[in-house]
Amino acid sequence: MSDIADRVKKIVVEHLGVEAEKVTETASFIDDLGADSLDTVELVMAFEEEFGIEIPDDAAETIQTFGDAVKFISSAA
Amino acid sequence: MFDLTGKTALVTGASGGIGGEIARSLYAAGATVGLSGTRIEPLQALAAELGDRAHVLPCNLSDLAAVDELIKQAVAAMGSLDILVNNAGITRDNLFMRMSDDEWQSVIDVNLTATFRLMRGALRGMMKARWGRIINITSVVGHSGNPGQGNYAATKAGVLAMSKSLAQEVASRNITVNCVAPGLIETPMTEKLNDEQRAKILVGVPTGRMGKPQEVAAGVLYLASQEAAYITGTTLHINGGGDMS
ipTM of the complex: 0.77
Which of B120, B126, B127, B175 to mutate to test binding with chain A, by most A CBs within 10 Å of its CB? Answer: B127
In one-letter notation, the amino acid at residue B71 is I
Structural contact between residues A10 and A50, judged by C-beta atoms closer than 8 angstroms: no
Task: Give the Cα separation of B177 and B168 in Å (integer).
Answer: 9
The Cα B240–Cα A7 span in angstroms is 56
Return the active site residues of A. 36
Does residue B154 have a known ligand-binding role? Answer: yes
pLDDT tens string B43-101: 999 999 999 999 999 999 999 999 999 999 999 999 999 999 999 999 999 999 999 99
Please tell me the distance from the alpha carbon of residue A65 to that of residue A47, in angstroms, as a whole number: 13
Rounded alpha-carbon distances, angstroms, from residue B138 to A3, B18, B36, B238? 49, 12, 18, 11
Decide if B119 contacts B84 (C-beta within 8 A). Answer: yes
Rounded CA-CA distance B107/B91 in Å is 6
Cα distances from B147 to residues B10, B105, B108, B136, B144, in angstroms, run 32, 18, 17, 23, 10
Contact between residue B170 and residue B177 where contact means Cβ atoms under 8 Å apart:
yes
Q: Is the pLDDT of residue B244 over 90?
A: no
Residues of A in contact with B124 (CB under 8 A): 45
Which residue range is the domain that position A3 belongs to?
1-76
What is the per-residue pLDDT for B202?
87
User: What's the mean pLDDT when you consider all of chain B?
Assistant: 95
Q: pLDDT band at A77, cuts 50/70/90?
A: confident
Q: By the 8 A CB rule, do B179 and B235 touch? A: yes
Task: Report chain A's terminal Cα–Cα distance, integer Å.
Answer: 17
Residue B8 among known ligand-binding residues: no
Report pLDDT for B118.
98
Binary contact (A45, B173; C-beta < 8 A): no
CA proximity to B105, closest of B94, B92, B117, B95: B92
Chain Cα centroid distance, residue B195: 27
* DSSP, res B185: B
Residue B46 and residue B23 in contact, taking contact as beta carbons nearer than 8 Å: yes
Closest CB from B124, B128, B169 relative to A38: B169
Residue pair B75/B69 in contact by the 8 Å Cβ criterion: no
If one counts the domains in chain A, the total is: 1
- pLDDT-derived band of residue A53, with 50, 70 and 90 as boundaries? very high
What CATH number should be reported for the domain holding residue A44? 1.10.1200.10
CB distance B124–A38 less than 8 Å? no
Q: Is pLDDT at B198 greater than 90 in this prediction? A: no
Return the percentage of chain B with pLDDT > 70, whole number.
100
pLDDT (tens digit per residue) in B162-171: 999 999 999 9
Residues of B in contact with A36 (CB under 8 A): 172
A77 touching B (Cβ < 8 Å) = no
Is B222 among the annotated ligand-binding positions?
A: no
Q: Are A40 and A57 in contact (CB under 8 A)?
A: no
B166/A contact by beta carbon, under 8 A: no
How far, in Å, are B46, B125, B212 from residue B91 at the CA level?
Answer: 24, 31, 20
Residue B60, annotated as binding a ligand: no
- Cβ within 8 Å of B, A 23-52: 36, 38, 42, 45
State the pLDDT confidence band at A1, using cuts at 50, 70 and 90.
Answer: low
Q: Buried b vs exposed e over A4-26: b needs ≥16 C-beta within 10 Å?
A: bbebbbebbbebbebeeeebeee
Shortest Cα–Cα distance, A10 to chain B (Å): 16
Q: How far is the alpha carbon of A12 from chain B, nearest alpha carbon, in Å? A: 14
